[in-house]
Chain A
Amino acid sequence: MSILDALAFPFFQRALVAGLAIAVMAGLLGVFVVQRRLSFLGDGLAHAAFGGMGIGAFVIVSSGLVGSRLGLFTQPLWFALPFSMVAALVIAWLRRGTRLSSDTAIGVAFAVSVALGVMFFSLIPPDMNLGVSAMDLLFGSILGVRGGDLWLILGVALGSSLVLLLLWGRLGYATFDDELARADGVRTDRLELLLFLLAAVIIAVSASVVGVILMAAYLVIPAAAARLLARTLAQMTVVSVLMGVVSTLAGLALSFYLDVPSGSTIVLTQAALFVPAALFGRR
């Protein structure tokens, strides 16, 4: 069977569209994450999503919502989203309001979220079928994307990409020099909060598909490779999105031919693009 035959399968089509949507929004966001030295933020918020999923799964099971027709509320993701946003606000506050550095603030949120996730998943009876397992969340299952998930991913990708593109100039200015931007009337504190909240939404939605552990790679590797090749922030943004798109297409195709997990193949493809950028890119 060739890759063209595989494209005829709805599950493969959904994986492809979801992967591309995630590549675009993560590529755009990643530029600001990398330039602000917040690469660890991707890990922190993805693990916050895991904690939120654990709480969500437990609430759904204990309230008897499993299998009910209440649609939205049977998805742990709807609990993970607000939980990740709160985690993002806590990290932003710890960064600005205390003497803690970003990595320490993110590390605290990371550890607490994983502890909560593990605790709440352990409280769910093992024979309970939620349609989502802790292992799926950790390592991702892009080929298992359902129709409802896809619409959510597409909606978040469209909304977040639009906001990031509209605010690109001010975000770029504040990323270059927070003080210079503030002196020119840019509300950098509000922009940073918005960036953190967008990161929480993008990461929570994407992590449920590509996996909590691999999410940071989607955010950081294409943007880091783009930084090594680009001369300007605009070039870096375009190259970052292109790297994400190319590695998603190539990674999915490779995983199909090699019969290996698609999430890890996409990340390894990103790494394969990063290595020549690091070796031959601008110094």
Chain B
Amino acid sequence: MASDRHHRLSAVSAVPALHVHQVTVRFGDATVLEDVSFDLPAGAFLAIVGPNGAGKSTLVKVALGLVVPQRGHAALFGEPAGDHAERVGYVPQLKTFDRTFPATALELVVTGLRRSWPARVRPAEAERARAALERVGAAELATRPLARLSGGELQRAYLARALVRRPELVLLDEPATGVDFLAEHDLYDLLERYQADSGATVAMVTHDLAAARYHADMVLVLNRRLHGYGTPDVVMCEECLQAAFGHKHHGHALSL
């Protein structure tokens, strides 16, 4: 699947979708990212892997302009990070979701169009939001309260929210956490279909090395510093993963 896209990547724009240059981020005394640099070509599917506390989520937040690095900078499509929110679709970690908030899935998707919370959903917005939910196979969720959705259903609602604005870059922070294998498989399938349809770039934080190897055409191995960046067959070698994760036995991921 990933190899199909290698050929397309060679033909895309010279301006990288995401340019990260010598980024260093510190929270208090702790250095979370150190001198991280890479260019993500437009149209690529990037998997960001690394152990817990490696700075993967922080890297996504730097790309979104939510965290300003102490050193270095990030740019999206040649513009400073945070300047073009409308070109980015963001799927956050599901664990940050507040289940006491009174909302329907349709309202959540509409925030992707409006960039504020809707008091009343206009018919044109409802139509686009329903179409986005249908694209992710969740049309029946539109009027359901968010609090009643399962992990997999919530993931689809958040994905519909990210895709409803037809973003050129989709950033996902561990979207598969808390969902079952089938929901995870569907997620990759949906992302690949959106990418094939729109030519968008996808960057996703994941703990699933096997999925990264199978679905991504670029893999970034991170543990505070960059330990590898390139195609899966080059980067996902035992040595690279051992350097980042600090232990061996990733054979199950590498055998796929």
- Check B85 against A227 for contact (C-beta < 8 Å): no
Q: Knowing A183-B64, A183-B90, A184-B85 are in contact, say whether A232-B116 is a contact too (CB < 8 A).
A: no
Kindly supply a per-residue 1/0 record for chain B positions 91-120, scoring 1 wherever the CB is within 8 Å of any chain A CB and 0 otherwise: 010001110111110010001001111111
Residues of A within 8 A of B98 (CB): 35, 176-177
Residues of A within 8 A of B96 (CB): 177, 179
Kindly supply a per-residue 1/0 record for chain B positions 213-226, scoring 1 wherever the CB is within 8 Å of any chain A CB and 0 otherwise: 00000000000000
A176 interface neighbour in B101, B104, B115, Cβ under 8 Å? B101
- Check A236 against B90 for contact (C-beta < 8 Å): no
B101 interface neighbour in A35, A171, A235, Cβ under 8 Å? A35
Task: Tally A-B pairs: CB < 8 A.
Answer: 76
Interface-centre pick from B64, B66, B119 (highest chain A CB count, 10 A): B119
B61, chain A: closest CB distance, angstroms: 8
B103 interface neighbour in A169, A179, A186, A232, Cβ under 8 Å? A232
A239, chain B: closest CB distance, angstroms: 10
- Check A232 against B88 for contact (C-beta < 8 Å): no
A180 interface neighbour in B92, B102, B120, Cβ under 8 Å? B92
* A107 CA to B61 CA, complexed, in Å: 32
Residues of B within 8 A of A184 (CB): 85, 111, 115
B222, chain A: closest CB distance, angstroms: 20
Residues of B within 8 A of A172 (CB): 116-117, 119
* A to B CB contacts below 8 Å, 20 in the list: A168-B117, A168-B119, A169-B114, A169-B117, A171-B117, A172-B119, A173-B111, A173-B117, A175-B117, A177-B98, A179-B61, A180-B90, A183-B64, A183-B85, A183-B88, A227-B102, A231-B104, A233-B107, A233-B119, A282-B145
Q: Which residues of A contact B (CB under 8 A)?
A: 35, 168-173, 175-177, 179-180, 182-186, 227, 230-237, 282
